[in-house]
A and B are shown apart, each in its own frame.
Chain A
Amino acid sequence: MAEPTVAAAYRQIVRSRVAAQASYRTSFAVEVVSQVFIVLVEFVEVYAVFHQVDDLGGFDFAEVSLIYGLSVLSFGIADLVVGHLDQLPFYVRTGTFDALLLRPLSPLGQLVTSDFSLRRLGRVGTGIAVLAVALVAVDVDWTPARVLLAVVTPLAGAVIFSAIFVATSTIGFWVVEGMEFTNAFTYGGNYLSSFPFTVFGTAIRRFFTFVLPIGFVAYLPTLALLGRPEPFGWPDWLSWSSLPVAAVAGWLSLLIWRTGLRRYVGTGS
């Protein structure tokens, strides 16, 4: 009877968070709308670039929009679910985290369910819209495998970004200050993932594909959708590998988190 009880506890927590965030209707609506606006404002960068040129690293406006859409949606989902984990030092400093340790639920599970921001649904919704428009605009030779890939890719991307959030937030167990360091990998990864990797140097491309699997979020699956070989000679199956890569990344991040948790001794205050 242990399993249903845990699930029921999480359901209760999630329900209370939803109710709390939706209770100030006007404020909530404004926040959701501003999230939509934010995605559009960020898109100005891509728009301005393609006002100057027709081609960026071998990709046209529609193709870069597809990469951008996949990236926005993946990051939007991850940010909705685990984006607040970079607040861990705050929980540690105030002792709130220690309270989570006393409860019979996983601390990570409690952190994730305790503070997720529903307003980010605005971002997710806009991501879906951008992606849908881009998918219509680009020239894809649709096969069942590519349809499946288009559906699975944002979810795999969300798992990859979540893994990076979880793994980097682990350093919050040790340092209370300097968490901005992790932004280079989370938000920096998001920035990097929304452009074709052909614009980056070899070292950057390799690091953000094989060490931090950011290339699997949007760039490589886009190649597979367009039926294009990787311009630098990486094998084609790599472009189809986002899902298994996401699974490994997710597992590794949980491993890192558990290691951090085991060593956690509190602030002594």
Chain B
Amino acid sequence: MPSAPAAALSPAVALATAGFRRWSTYRLAALAGVFTNTVFGVIKLSILLAVAESAGGTVAGYDAASLSTYTWVSQGLIAVVMIFSWTELADRVRTGDIAVDLARPIDLQLAWLAADLGRAAWSLLSRALVPLVFGAVVYGLYVPSDPTALALLPVSLLLAVVVSFGCRFVVNLTAFWLVEVRGVVLLYVLVSGVLGGHLVPVHFFPDWLQAVAYATPFPAMVQTPVDLVTGQAEGTEAAGLVAAQAAWAVGVLLLGRVVLGRATRKLVLQGG
């Protein structure tokens, strides 16, 4: 007989597998996505290289090679951490299907997180590798060598997905209060992308804007894993960044539980 935690976890594993398989059926969509991410990568890197050239070779601690790594890793991570809009949960709230989810014998947040991790694993294989290989062949990459940073990379990627999921979960739950979540989701996608360091590295920002960015969980979704592979953070600094990521992951997941609690109480009050 499996122990209690293992018994709770096995449906989560099954949901993660289902998430992986579900997304893997959209092969043509993945191909189209890879193409688009790569085209945007070429544009982004062209601009960044021009900035470095204008600055005399190095800008905010990045040289041409590390800007290339920054670009291709951040483009590859778009689909993995799902920077773009996701409204599946909000749609279920709007249609009322969420009631079915709540009646299931597995924790709602855990179930969606498991499915999202499965999706992220598929995206890592289908969406992240091609832009990275393209970047390596066409532009060349900075290859990280710090053992601490490299060892922490898988943990950091996992935490990036968890933080992203935690944020999207909360954003989607606003559907309990708002009739139309499209505007909120759009705003979230943009602000999280910019402050997360998706368009330009957070290190390019003036001090005040960096302070704003690091007061949000968004850099933990893109900039932190990218810092580990571009040599921006090594040794204890890398460990500190990943610890901060873990803190944000716990924080946004807890926030999600509080909001969900309020939302379901409201649901019951309304009588369904």
Residues of A at the B interface (CB closer than 8 Å) are 24, 27, 30-31, 34, 37-38, 41-42, 44-45, 48-49, 51-57, 119, 175, 177-181, 183-184, 188, 191-192, 195, 198-201, 204
Contacts and interface: CB of A to CB of B under 8 A. Distances in A.
Contacts of B180: 24, 27, 31
A37 B209 contact: no
Interface in B194-240: 194, 199-200, 204-206, 209
Contacts of A54: 54
A34 B187 CA distance: 7
A165 B32 CA distance: 16
Most chain B CB atoms below 10 A, which of A48, A184, A204: A48
B145 interface: no
A177 B183 contact: no
Given A52-B60, A178-B29, A34 B183 contact: yes
A200 B45 CA distance: 9
A214 to B, nearest CB: 11
B134 interface: no
Interface in B110-163: none
B35 A37 contact: no
Contacts of B28: 175, 177-178
Nearest to B50: A199
A199 B47 contact: yes
For the complex, would chain B's binding face be called helix, strand, loop or mixed by DSSP majority?
helix
- Give 10 nearest A-B pairs by CB, closest first: A199-B50, A181-B32, A178-B32, A178-B28, A184-B39, A53-B54, A180-B32, A48-B204, A184-B36, A45-B199
B190 interface: yes
B191 interface: yes
B4 interface: no
Q: How large is the interface on B (under 10, 10 to 19, 20 to 34, 35 or more residues)?
A: 35 or more
B40 interface: yes
Interface of B: 26, 28-29, 31-33, 35-36, 39-40, 42-43, 46-47, 49-51, 54-55, 59-60, 179-180, 182-183, 186-187, 190-191, 194, 199-200, 204-206, 209
A189 B204 CA distance: 24
A24 B209 CA distance: 35
A159 B49 CA distance: 31
Contacts of B200: 45, 48-49
Contacts of B26: 177
Contacts of A181: 31-32, 35-36
Nearest to A191: B43
Given A34-B187, A41-B194, A52-B51, A180 B36 contact: yes
Nearest to A39: B190
A205 B32 CA distance: 23
Contacts of B186: 34, 38
